[in-house]
Structure 1
Amino acid sequence: MTRRQLARHAGWFGAAVVLTVTGGEVISHVVDGRNGGGAAGGDANALRFVQISDSHIGFTGAANTDVTASFSRALADINALSFRPDFVMHTGDLTHTSTVAQFDQVDQMLSGLRAGRVFTVPGEHDSVGDAGRAYRQIFGHNTVGEGWYSFDTHGVHFIALVNTLSLEKLGHLGADQIDFVRKDVAGLSSDTPIVLFSHIPLFAMYPQWGWSTDDALQVLSLLKRFASVTALNGHVHQLFSRVEGNVTFHSATTTAYPLPKPGTAAAPTPQVLPARGLQAALGIRTVDYQQGGTGLAVTDRTLN
């Protein structure tokens, strides 16, 4: 960033900022609260959805002594938005140890959302000891294989992927899921916007910590003909964006506890922040899409 760019951004700290990717260029501006925080403004035909991630219900530790309360705060923030989201997507690690009681608690909490629909994908913490069976019993309805699926709305095609079940070190999709994507997109026009959801990043964010998916390129190669592809993930508990070719990657923050930035610690362990600083590391993400546009408008909001 140049000094002029830094000066331009310096007044934005603490404000929500919209990042719109258009033709490979990232355009940023301060959110105007009058339009609900998105570039789509008051257009009733615009697509608006919310991403939350890594609630880790069941976690106990100094990094967050009440993950249920912070998750409740995030859900309350969604319900307080000036618009009703078309859907909410939870990108994994709904629970911390994948017990039936934890899944039931998350399910009940999500049922209070005022949104068109609620979707989820599992994280590795949702697959502890049972390869995701308890997760699928509650959240796996209308899915394929081990929990993957797709859907369409407002002219956008969404694909929800599962890359947390066959873990060695990195995330893994597997041949069956890759074949599902191949067949799923075969009949789509190349100008259809594609949005991918996964828990573990589909790019090599930091493979040393397992923050990558070993066979992601096989899926991304199937999407090269599409003009607009956006991949939204959780897992890393922090905001990070990257553009590679026709794909824009956005890692989301968490509603539970922060993790260190890549390479700044020996391992990705929960970080203890001052009590008043925790809310600034947690948050939700709203995404707007105007039909006929060329990109998604992504707004990240902290819980403070």
Structure 2
Amino acid sequence: MTDQNSFGTHENPFGRRQPAPLPEPTAPETGMTRRQLMWHAGWFGSAVVLTVVGGEVISHIAHDHDSTTPATVAGRAGLRFVQVSDSHIGFQGPANTDVTGSFTRAIDQINTLGFRPDFVMHTGDLTHFSTPAQFDQVKQMMTGLATDRVFTVPGEHDSVGDGGRAYRRAFGRNTTGDGWFSFDTHGVHFLALVNTLALEKLGHLGTQQIDFVRKDLAGLRSDTPIVVFSHIPLFAMYPAWGWSTDDALQVLALLKRFASVTCLNGHVHQLFSRTEGNVTFHSATTTAYPLPAPGHGPAPTPRVLPARQLKAALGIRTVTYKRGAEALAITDRRLA
């Protein structure tokens, strides 16, 4: 249970945590509430920070001038890390003509948080076509992150044509199987899973990886906070678009005995949260281009927005949550 996927002296970005939403009518075609559809669609380019204190995960989506940072919430003893996702380096299209510039701004944002994250996690689709040059570019860019360690899991775009071999040459040092691993820090146990290599319609983990999870969790106390990273959601967000993992229930069954489980994914290019029992799922935003909300259109293709709307969509969201509060405090701002 060592730090297996970090490279150089850095790690990878972006994360988020929110309390369960109040019950309200759902949109039957998506399984989401109307509030969630409005709140979670369309925003990207933001750094989202998770602070873990006393077994509780607290959210804070980065804002350069926000006085309510994880440092003020958690003090110096807390764990603070960042999740970034879906940079799609190599993408060329009208949805975003400068994904490299967008990812650079996200890195700059992380580096101006006002504190040094304990690590940064990139939850996949680092590249768009999984070429060696694209992997080298994103790796070089992430060495500029102001953190001690950077971690990654692959997306399906990181496995184009070769089953992830080029990705593992670039980022898979000391990982297990097809790139999965685990590590512990600050009393929290982290699992980084790969569910993008056996794609037919949905994400897939496979028996070898599920057996790894079973053995990995066996010796842990049930009060150990667990955080799980994957690219494709581990819940059925929208299976018709492949936004689900067909054998995730086997892993979730292994996690039932733990009091606090947080699953963080990318892939869907929009913010979304869901709580089922002891597990809370959070889909991350992207630094590349927006995708439509589930069921809005025939397929999850990049959304082309007018220039002003795209600038508005490229932004950061500050989220503050304190123990005992009834709601999140949310502030949206554009990237410069």
TM-score by length of 2: 0.77
Give yes or no for the alignment of 1:112 onto 2:131.
no
- Answer whether contact 1:258 1:282 (CA < 8 A) is retained: no
Letter in 1 for 2:159: S
1:142 is displaced (CA, Å) by: 1.6
CA contact (8 A) 1:52 1:91 kept: yes
* Structure 2 residue aligned with 1:247: 279
State how 1:41-120 maps to structure 2 within 5 Å. Answer: 41=73, 43-120=75-152
Shift of 1:281: 3.3
**Other structure's SS at 1:34 match:** coil
Q: Structure 1, residues 12-55: CA drift from partner, whole Å, max 9, x if none?
A: xx9x9999999xxx99999892243x375361111000000000
> Greater CA deviation, 281-290 or 175-184?
281-290
What residue in structure 1 maps to residue 261 of structure 2? 229
CA distance in 1, matches of 2:139, 2:48: 30
Whole-Å Cα distance in 2 between the matches of residues 302 and 186 of structure 1?
Answer: 43
Q: Please, which of 202, 223, 228 is the counterpart of residue 170 of structure 1? A: 202
**Structure 1 residues 146 and 300 mapped into 2: Cα distance closer, same or farther (>3 Å)?**
farther
The structure 1 segments of at least 4 consecutive aligned residues displaced by more than 2 Å after TM superposition are: 16-22, 26-32, 38-42, 276-290, 297-304
Distance in 2 (alpha carbons) for counterparts of 1:49 and 1:279: 26
Deviation readout 1:85-111 (Å, 9 max, x if unpaired): 000000000000000000000000000
State the partner residue of 2:191: 159
- Verify the 8 A CA contact 2:51 2:80 in the aligned structure 1: no
Give the secondary-structure state (helix, strand or coil) at the position aligned to 2:140: helix
Distance, in Å, in 2 between the alignment partners of 1:223 and 1:303 is 37
Query: Are 2:66 and 1:33 aligned?
Result: yes
Q: Could you tell me how far 1:273 is from its partner in structure 2?
A: 1.4
Corresponding residue number in structure 2 for 1:187: 219
For residues 221 and 247 of structure 1, do their structure 2 counterparts lie closer, same or farther at Cα, with a shift above 3 Å needed?
same
Q: Distance in 2 between matches of 1:101 and 1:28?
A: 34
- For the residues of structure 1 that align with 2:245 and 2:83, how far apart are their CA atoms? 20
Q: Quick one: distance in 2 between partners of 1:91 and 1:225?
A: 25
Q: Residues 60, 302 of structure 1: CA spacing in aligned structure 2 closer, same or farther, 3 A cutoff?
A: farther
Q: 2:248 aligns with which of 213, 216, 222?
A: 216
User: What are the ranges of 5 or more consecutive residues in structure 1 without an aligned counterpart?
Assistant: none
SS of the equivalent of 1:41 reads: helix
In the alignment, is the contact (CA less than 8 A) between 1:92 and 1:234 conserved in 2?
yes
1:147 is aligned to 2:179? yes
SS at match of 1:33: coil
Conservation of the 8 A alpha-carbon contact between 1:48 and 1:289: no
Percent of matched pairs sharing the same residue: 74
Q: Equivalent of 2:308, from 264, 272, 276?
A: 276
CA contact (8 A) 2:273 2:281 kept: yes
Q: Is the 8 A contact 2:321 2:329 kept in 1?
A: no
SS of the residue corresponding to residue 159 of structure 1 reads: strand
Q: Secondary structure at the match of 1:61?
A: coil
Counterparts of 2:306 and 2:256, CA distance in 1: 44
The 1:42/1:211 distance shift into structure 2, 3 A limit, reads: closer
- SS state of the match for residue 135, structure 1? helix
Instruction: Report the TM-score, using the length of structure 1 for normalisation.
Output: 0.85
SS for the counterpart of 2:73 is coil
Q: Deviations over 1:179-238 (max 9, x none)?
A: 000000101010100000000000000000000000000000001000000000000000
Mean CA deviation greater in 41-50 or 83-92? 41-50
CA change 1:139–1:21 in 2 (3 A) is closer
Please give the per-residue CA displacement for 1:141-171, whole angstroms capped at 9, x wherever unaligned: 1200000000001110000000000111000
Cα distance in 1 for partners of 2:58, 2:74 equals 20
Give the partner amino acid of 2:234.
L
Residues 51, 285 of structure 1: 8 Å contact kept: no
Q: Is the 8 A contact 2:50 2:80 kept in 1?
A: no
Which residue does 2:10 correspond to in 1?
none
